[in-house]
Amino acid sequence: MTIRGRLPLTVAGRPVTITGGPFDSLPDGAFGVCLEMQSQKAWLADVPLPTADFGLPEPAALRAAVGEVLRQLEAEPDRPVHIGCRAGVGRTGLFMACLVKAAGVAGDPLDYVRAHYLPHAAETPAQEATARGFTWP
C-alpha cells in the first residue's frame, strides 16, 4: 500500500508534513493517527481513533485527537504526521479537514483538503457535514 498524498499545512507559523492513505502505509518514524483498528500497523498508532468504515468518530474523541496532533506538530514540526484508515479517503479526509480547521486555514476545510490532498476526500454526506461543521476550540 502506498501513501495517497500530502496535505500542506502551516502550524504555529511553520510548514509541516502530513501524509494520508491506508494506515498500513505509515512511514517509518511518523506520528500516526489510525482510524482503522483492523490495520496491521494499528498497534503503532500514536493516536488511535476507532471509526467504522464510512462512519464518523465520536465527537469528543475527534476533538481530542485533533488536539493531540496539533500539539505534536507544534512540539516536533519536523516529524511527519500520517493519518490513515483503510483506503485513506473517507475517514482520513474527514480528519484532515478537521485538522485544517483547527490549524486556522480560512475557508471551507473540506474544499482545502480536496484541492491539496485528494479530490474525493470524505465520502459520505455525514462525513462532509461533520468536516464542515467542526469547530475549534
What's the Rg (C-alpha) of the chain?
13
The model's pTM is 0.96
> Quick one: DSSP state of residue 78?
T
Instruction: Give how far Cα 26 sits from Cα of 30, 105, 108, Å.
Output: 7, 25, 27
Structural domain for 27, as ranges: 5-133
Between 4 and 1, residue with greater pLDDT? 4
What pLDDT score was predicted for residue 2? 82
Q: What's the structural domain count of the chain?
A: 1
Instruction: Report the pLDDT value the prediction gives residue 1, as an integer from 0 to 100.
Output: 60
What CATH number is given to the structural domain containing 112? 3.90.190.10
Q: For residue range 75-126, what is the model confidence (pLDDT) as tens digits?
A: 999 999 999 999 999 999 999 999 999 999 999 999 999 999 999 999 999 9
At 137, is the pLDDT very low, low, confident or very high (cuts 50, 70, 90)?
Answer: confident
Q: Is the peptide bond before 137 cis (omega within 30 degrees of 0)?
A: yes
Q: Angle at the Cα of 47 (from 45 to 49), degrees rounded to 5? A: 100
Q: How many residues does the chain have?
A: 137
Specify the pLDDT at position 111.
Answer: 97
Q: What is the mean pLDDT of the chain?
A: 96
What are the grid coordinates assigned to 30, written together? 511518523
Per-residue confidence band for 17, with pLDDT thresholds at 50, 70 and 90? confident
pLDDT of residue 33: 98
Distance, CA of 118 to CA of 121 (rounded, Å) = 5
Residue 136 has pLDDT above 90, yes or no: yes
Check pLDDT > 90 for residue 3: no
